[in-house]
């Protein structure tokens, strides 16, 4: 998607890029990013013990168009009754559902909205000859939507991450496959400076996806350089011959690196203060082995020889 103005031609439908641009402009979000609660990706109970289970995201793995439709609805609805009204053809073009103008697009969009209603992610109501779409709470509970108050005032259920407008403006909505989009949303929802690229059964079960889906998504993000390695760690490993293994940690590349939590962000910033640099140097000095005694004695001897008359 480009930001250049398209020459509009009479009696011809606008492009998908034009439809998305119109919706993004309609949202009027000053931060140019849409907040999505982490509960959409992975639900967490509000009790004393954190028990996680897959969020509604895994129900959309088989329909990239439905996922796109939901993300755009969240993007456009920014206050009031948290609803939006637009022609079915606009939603169809923007979400990549249909580009027809003979009336069939309306039926296609209605099928996707019906499924989103079953998942309790949206509600709808007639609005003249069109349909008004209301976004609901992201966890699929069917609760009315409220703006996330932030971690300080809200519960774990209110923790959120942001999807930048660049997701659409730089064409990732078209260039990424559904597995890659799912893994991208999972990593953004972690709100961590770095993470492991896990694709084992246990990790996949946390998000309700298959290990193969996770693997395909991870490989695509690596190929498109949307994740990059930041550091490696040595860990004890009872299955390795040497009893240890190397674990690489990765980070999200721009424009998706905007969801680092406060703790990680402050820790990263502190590394570049004078005190932080001093602490890092001290840690390395404690880890590095001291030079051999012979290596220390040799310069001393050479110095003594040079000083002789």
Residue that wins the pLDDT comparison between 208 and 2: 208
Task: With a cut of 70, say whether residue 3 has pLDDT above it.
Answer: no
Contact 175, 211 (CB under 8 A): no
Q: Is the dihedral of CA 182, 188, 192, 193 positive or negative?
A: positive
3-class SS at 66?
helix
pLDDT of residue 103: 84
pLDDT band at 9 (very low <50, low <70, confident <90, very high): low
Per-residue confidence (pLDDT) for residue 212, from 0 to 100? 97
Q: What is the pLDDT of residue 240?
A: 72
Mean pLDDT of 138-152: 87
CA angle 70, 75, 221 (to 5 degrees): 70
Other C-beta atoms lying within 10 Å of the C-beta of residue 136: 19
Cα gap 142→58, rounded to integer Å: 17
The answer to whether the CB of 155 falls within 8 A of the CB of 146 is no
Mean pLDDT of the chain: 84
Identify the DSSP state of 240: S
pLDDT at position 269, please?
45
Res 2 pLDDT > 70? no
- Count the neighbouring beta carbons within 10 Å of the beta carbon of residue 14: 17
Q: Are the CB atoms for 149 and 28 separated by under 8 Å? A: no
Residue 241 has pLDDT above 90, yes or no: no
| Lowest-confidence pick of 15-19, 113-117, 258-262 | 258-262
Q: What is the pTM of this model?
A: 0.80
Nearest in space to 17 (alpha carbons), one of 182, 169, 214, 177: 169
| Max avg pLDDT among 46-60, 198-212, 229-243, 260-274 | 198-212
Per the DSSP assignment, residues forming a β-bridge with 164 are: 33
CA distance 40 to 56: 5
Predicted confidence at residue 58, as pLDDT, reads 97
Greater model confidence, 192 or 262: 192
Give per-residue pLDDT as tens, 38-97. 999 998 766 556 667 999 999 999 999 999 999 999 999 988 999 999 999 999 999 999
Residue 237 has pLDDT above 60, yes or no: yes
Percent of the chain with pLDDT over 90: 62
Q: What is the average pLDDT across 175-199?
A: 96
Mean pLDDT confidence for 128-152: 91
DSSP type of residue 151: T
pLDDT in tens, 271-304: 445 655 565 566 545 555 555 555 555 555 444 4
Three-class SS state of 185: helix
In this predicted structure, the answer to whether residue 136 has a pLDDT above a threshold of 90 is yes
Tokens 């011809």 belong to residue:
12
Distance CA 153, CA 151 (A): 6
pLDDT of residue 267: 47
How much is the pLDDT for 79? Answer: 84
Query: Could you please report the per-residue DSSP string of 90-149?
Result: HHHHHHTS----SSHHHHHHHHHHHHHHHTTSEEEEEETTEEEEEEB-TTSS-PBP----
Question: From residue 192, how far is each of 156, 161, 186 by CA, in Å?
Answer: 16, 11, 11
CA 76 to mean position of chain CA atoms: 18
Q: What is the DSSP letter of 73?
A: H
Tokens at residue 107, please? 């039926």
Q: What percent of the chain has pLDDT over 70?
A: 76
Query: How is residue 239 written in tokens?
Result: 């299955």
CA distance 12 to 47: 55
pLDDT above 90 for 198? yes
Q: Ranked by mean pLDDT, which of 124-128, 157-161, 272-276, 294-298 comes out on top?
A: 124-128
């Amino acid at each position: 998607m480009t930001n250049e103005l398209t020459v509009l031609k009479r009696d011809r439908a606008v492009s998908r890029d034009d439809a998305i641009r119109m919706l993004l402009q309609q949202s009027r979000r000053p931060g140019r990013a849409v907040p999505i609660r982490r509960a959409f990706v992975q639900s967490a109970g509000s009790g004393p013990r954190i028990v996680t289970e897959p969020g509604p995201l895994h129900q959309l793995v088989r329909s990239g168009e439905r996922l796109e439709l939901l993300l755009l609805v969240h993007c456009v609805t920014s206050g009031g009754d948290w609803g939006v009204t637009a022609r079915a053809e606009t939603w169809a073009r923007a979400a990549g559902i249909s580009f027809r103008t003979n009336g069939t697009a309306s039926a296609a969009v209605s099928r996707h909205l019906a499924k989103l209603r079953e998942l309790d992610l949206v509600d709808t109501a007639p609005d003249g000859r069109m349909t008004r779409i209301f976004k609901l709470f992201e966890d699929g509970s069917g609760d009315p939507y409220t703006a996330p108050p932030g971690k300080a005032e809200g519960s774990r259920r209110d923790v959120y991450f942001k999807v930048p407008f660049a997701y659409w403006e730089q064409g990732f909505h078209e260039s990424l496959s559904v597995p890659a989009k799912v893994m991208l949303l999972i990593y953004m929802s972690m709100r961590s400076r770095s993470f492991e690229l896990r694709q084992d059964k246990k990790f996949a079960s946390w998000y309700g996806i298959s290990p193969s889906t996770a693997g395909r998504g991870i490989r695509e993000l690596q190929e498109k350089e949307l994740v990059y390695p930041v550091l490696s760690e040595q860990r004890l490993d009872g299955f390795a011959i040497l009893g240890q293994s190397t674990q690489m940690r990765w980070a999200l590349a721009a424009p998706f690196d905007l969801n680092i939590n406060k703790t990680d962000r402050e820790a990263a910033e502190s590394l570049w203060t004078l005190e932080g640099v001093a602490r890092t140097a001290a840690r390395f000095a404690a880890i590095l082995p001291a030079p051999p005694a012979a290596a220390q004695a040799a310069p001393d001897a050479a110095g003594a020889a040079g000083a002789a008359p």
